[in-house]
Amino acid sequence: MNLKQTWANFKGEHTYDIEGAVQYGPLYCMKTPIGEITVTPITRRQWEEVLPSKLEWKRTWMNEAFEHALPATNVTLHDITKFISRFENRYEVRFRLPTSGEHYTMAMTDFIGDGGKRIPSDPNTLGTFAWQPFMQPVAMGTRTDWGLYDTFGCVWQWCGDETEDVSVVQPGGTIYRYPQRPIFGGSWRYRAKDVVPTILGGMNGYKFNAHAEVSGNDVGFRLIRVSQNDTGNDGGSASGSVDERRD
């Protein structure tokens, strides 16, 4: 989808199909086999309704009209923790980040729905799922069988499972340890072929570990509601890597 098509599809106030969704404050969730998950990654409007703040969101002439529908990016895990805490205090509904396994499970419904009929023969045709030359509003692509948008592509999404911390030895001998956390799904900056699983003919680079306090203009998040019996277990296995050198 090019810029002209994006503008044509936007048609003023951006909305997305939320039939069957459950609303909690500004968040809309779909009931899925692994829990209630936000229909899209958290948007800038949703972020500012819960936690007004001046995050470093780049504004250009291309995105001014649909600023509110762009994903909330440049967020660290610390920022997300503050967002969740403020939301829970206001609406008394608990949320958390999905694990990488849950992300994998929900994302694969993009491709294996309808009994696998949607699996493409050529990964280069996956651009309709979000891989563009610029960031676009959420919910501009295909909706999955679970009623979710942007599970692959659009923006990388932080995961809730922990990974082993990394130790770095400084020149003076001091050992510095920093926490790593998984990020899942690729973004508008990556080719579909680089990110999607090998079962789809891709390079399997849909997950990598990053410093928990990094942020980027293509890194966002979505949430899953914490149920009474929530254990935070993976909804499936997820493996793979992507080059950790990010510019």
Residue pLDDT, tens place only, 128-181? 555 566 788 888 777 888 889 888 888 999 999 977 776 676 677 777 677 888
Q: Would you tell me how many other CB atoms lie within 10 Å of the CB of residue 143?
A: 20
Residues 193 and 237: their CA atoms lie apart, in Å, by 20
pTM above 0.85, yes or no: no
Residue pLDDT, tens place only, 22-51? 999 999 999 999 999 999 999 998 999 998
Residue 194 burial by Cβ neighbours in a 10 Å radius (0-12, 13-18, 19+): middle
